[in-house]
């Protein structure tokens, strides 16, 4: 996808998944950072996963179809064939050297061609569900209505009040006026069109 990746993995042991994901995230971050000539974190958040038994054919097929249909549903791709997807391994019975057919896929027919044809039809029936509206977190309404109580903020000796603090900037103020206040507050000396030199 444009900002994340979908995997359908079957670790030898369930406890191996965190190790696999740690290695995948580390390796891909290292590669992409090197290609993009950058450093630091590449992936924004920790991975999200949900497990199910490989005997759950309904869940297996729905998950596989979701992964293959997602680029089309998101408007990244017109059809199901996509450079960064293994849909072709299932539709055209290709071999990318990595993918193994899920047991649910292999139970669709008596031959591989029949499995591919039925899976193709199954994918064409996919209708993405609309995403739910973003809900407020449990405390957001409560926090929005709260007013801060307490003593007014003290200014201690040695603290300097800048002219910027004394004036509130409103949307109706002209850009030049805002620039003048900012320049005065920060003691900038270079001339600004229409303002001239300032001395602090």
Q: How far apart are CA 191 and CA 198, in angstroms?
A: 8
- pLDDT (tens, 9 = 90+) of the chain, 200 residues, equals 888 888 888 888 888 888 998 888 888 888 888 888 888 888 888 888 888 888 899 999 999 999 898 888 888 888 888 888 888 889 999 888 888 899 999 999 999 999 999 999 999 888 887 777 666 655 566 556 666 666 666 655 555 554 445 555 555 556 666 666 666 655 555 554 544 544 55
Residue 69 CB coordination number (10 Å): 21
Q: How far apart are CA 66 and CA 122, in angstroms?
A: 11
Q: List CB contacts of 18: < 8 A, sequence separation 6 or more.
A: none
Looking at residue 111, its pLDDT comes to 94
Q: Please, what is the angle between helix 112-124 and helix 57-73, to 10°?
A: 60
Looking at residue 134, its pLDDT comes to 65
Looking at residue 164, its pLDDT comes to 46
Residue 90 CB coordination number (10 Å): 25
């Amino acid at each position: 996808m444009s900002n994340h990746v979908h995997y359908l993995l079957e670790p030898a042991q369930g406890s191996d998944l965190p190790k696999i994901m740690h290695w995948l995230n580390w390796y891909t971050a290292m590669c992409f950072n090197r290609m993009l000539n950058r450093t630091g974190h590449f992936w924004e958040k920790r991975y999200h996963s949900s497990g199910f038994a490989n005997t759950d054919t309904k869940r297996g097929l729905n998950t596989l179809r979701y992964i293959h249909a997602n680029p089309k549903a998101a408007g990244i791709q017109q059809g199901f064939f996509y450079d960064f997807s293994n849909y072709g391994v299932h539709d055209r019975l290709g071999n990318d050297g990595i993918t193994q057919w899920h047991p649910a896929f292999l139970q669709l027919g008596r031959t591989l061609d029949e499995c591919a044809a039925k899976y193709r039809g199954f994918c064409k029936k996919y209708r993405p569900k609309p995403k739910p509206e973003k809900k407020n977190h449990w405390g957001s309404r409560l926090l929005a209505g709260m007013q801060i109580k307490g003593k007014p903020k003290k200014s201690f000796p040695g603290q300097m009040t800048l002219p910027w603090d004394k004036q509130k900037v409103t949307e109706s103020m002209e850009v030049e006026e805002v620039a003048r206040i900012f320049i005065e507050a920060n003691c900038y000396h270079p001339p600004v069109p229409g303002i001239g030199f300032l001395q602090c």
